[in-house]
Amino acid sequence: MDGIKRSNIEIGATVMVVQKQDQGSGKLTEGIVKKILTNSPEHPHGIKVMLENGIVGRVKEIK
């Protein structure tokens, strides 16, 4: 599953996100969703979330 639709993402889900500084390289970071930051139902670059370790990024993959 991809992270474009907000309805696919749940608090506590394990996801792969791309951080702002990693957008050029496409490096992904794995973590557990603490908070969903994007309010709209969809976003073409991925829904922005905060992980439990404080990292903020856009969801590219849902595990």
Q: Under 8 Å CB-to-CB from 55, ≥6 apart: which residues?
A: 17, 19, 29, 31
Going by C-alpha positions, the residue among 7, 48, 15, 18 that lies closest to residue 32 is: 15
- pTM score, whole prediction: 0.93
pLDDT per residue over 2-44, tens digit each? 899 999 999 999 999 999 999 999 999 999 999 999 999 999 9
Spatial distance between the Cα atoms of 20 and 18, rounded to a whole number of angstroms: 7
CB 8 within 8 A of CB 44: no
What is the pLDDT averaged over residues 37-54?
97
Q: Cα separation of 17 and 58, whole Å?
A: 5
Domains, the chain, with CATH or none: 6-62 (2.30.30)
